[in-house]
Amino acid sequence: MIKPVVAANWKMYKTIEESVSFVEKLKKKPLDWDEVHIILCAPYTSLFEMGNSLRGDSFVSLGAQNLYWEQEGAFTGEISVGMLKACGVEWVIVGHSERRTIFNETNNEVSIKATNSLKNNIHPIICVGETLQQKKNNQTKEILSKQIRESINDDSNNNNTIIAYEPIWAIGSGLTPSFNEIDEIHNFIKNEIRGYENYKILYGGSVKSANSKEILNLDSVDGLLIGRASLNVTEFNKILSF
Ligand code: PEP
C-alpha cells in the first residue's frame, strides 16, 4: 500500500496550549514516520503556534478545517487562504458534513473553496457522505456521485486533492459501515465515477484504535479522517502504530 494518510479533525476542541502540548507529545513518540503522513486539522486559533512548533519537522502537516474564498475584505468572521498559508497550513478540510448541515454549505461553495485553496497551494480534503435516510433509501451511490461531481472541479487532480468518504450517520455516533460496505463504496468512487480513479480516498466516521487497522487494511482505503479519537494523543498514537 502507498503511504497512508492519517488526518485528525479536532473540530472546535483544544486551546492553543492544548494543541501545542499534543504536538510536543506526538513528536516524542518513536514511530517510523516514513510510513504515514499525518495531518493535524486544528482550530484557527491554534494554527500559528502549532506552525511554529512543527517548523523544521516534516513528519506532520498542518491543516485547517475551513476557509473563505475571498483573499481579503469586509467578511466579518471569515479567514482567507492567505492567512492560513501564513500560519504554515498545507491542507484544509472542505465540505465537512457539519459545515454542510449546520452552516448550509452547498456543493458549489465547496468547489469554490477548493479552487481557492489550490490557487494558494493548500491541498483540499473534500468530504462527501450520505445521511442515514439516504442510505436506507439505497441512494448512497447516487448522492456520492452528485456530491463528488459538483464539489470537485477541474482544478483538482489526484496529486493535489484528497477525497474523504464520511457517512454522516457514522460521524461521532460510534457506528461504522461494515468493512465490506466501506470497501464497496471506496471502490465505487474509484471505479465508477469517471475521473476519480486515482484519487486518495480516506474513510472517516467513528474510527478508533479498535477498528483502525482493519479499515486501513482494505485495499481501497488510502487513509483515515478521525474526529473524536484524534483528540487524545495516546489513542491517536495507538492508531498510528500499524
Ligand atoms: C469527523 O468529524 O470528521 C469524524 C470522522 O468524526 P468521528 O471520528 O468523531 O466520527
Q: Of all atoms in ligand 1, which is nearest to the CA of residue 208?
A: 8
pLDDT band at 16 (very low <50, low <70, confident <90, very high): very high
On the question of pLDDT at 33 being above 70, the answer is no
The residue contributing the CA closest to ligand 1 atom 7 is 227
Among residues 214, 192, 193, which one has the least CA distance to residue 203?
A: 214
What is the per-residue pLDDT for 213? 96
Q: Of all atoms in ligand 1, which is nearest to the CA of residue 206?
A: 10
Ligand 1 centroid to Cα of residue 212, in Å, is: 13
Identity (one letter) of the amino acid at 90?
Answer: E
Specify which residues 125 forms β-bridges with. 93, 162
User: Quick one: DSSP state of residue 65?
Assistant: S
Q: Which residues contact 224 (CB under 8 A, 6 or more apart)?
A: 4, 5, 6, 7, 202, 203, 204, 207, 212, 215, 216, 239
What is the per-residue pLDDT for 27? 86
Mean pLDDT computed over 111-122: 96
What is the per-residue pLDDT for 35? 83
What is the per-residue pLDDT for 32? 61
Are the C-beta atoms of residues 161 and 123 closer than 8 Å to each other?
yes
On the question of pLDDT at 108 being above 80, the answer is yes
Mean pLDDT computed over 204-222: 97
Ligand 1 centroid to Cα of residue 204, in Å, is: 6
- Provide the residue count of the chain: 242
On the question of pLDDT at 57 being above 90, the answer is no
Calculate ∠ Cα 174-179-180, nearest 5°.
135
Cα–Cα distance measured from residue 75 to residue 62, given in angstroms and rounded to the nearest whole number: 24
- Give alpha helix (H) positions in 87-232: 97-102, 107-119, 132-136, 140-151, 179-192, 209-216
Q: Of all atoms in ligand 1, which is nearest to the CA of residue 166?
A: 5
Q: How far apart are the first and last CA of the chain?
A: 12
Which percentage of the chain shows pLDDT scores above 90?
Answer: 89
Task: Give this prediction's pTM.
Answer: 0.96
Calculate ∠ Cα 132-138-141, nearest 5°.
95
Specify which residues 6 forms β-bridges with. 38, 224
User: 138: helix, coil or strand?
Assistant: coil
Among residues 228, 232, 190, 234, which one has the least CA distance to residue 207?
A: 228
Q: Which residues contact 150 (CB under 8 A, 6 or more apart)?
A: 107, 108, 110, 111
Which range, of 37-46, 81-90, 188-197, 211-220, averages the lowest pLDDT?
A: 188-197
What is the per-residue pLDDT for 193? 86
Q: Known catalytic residues?
A: 96, 166
On the question of pLDDT at 34 being above 80, the answer is no
Ligand 1 centroid to Cα of residue 206, in Å, is: 6
Are the C-beta atoms of residues 81 and 66 closer than 8 Å to each other?
no
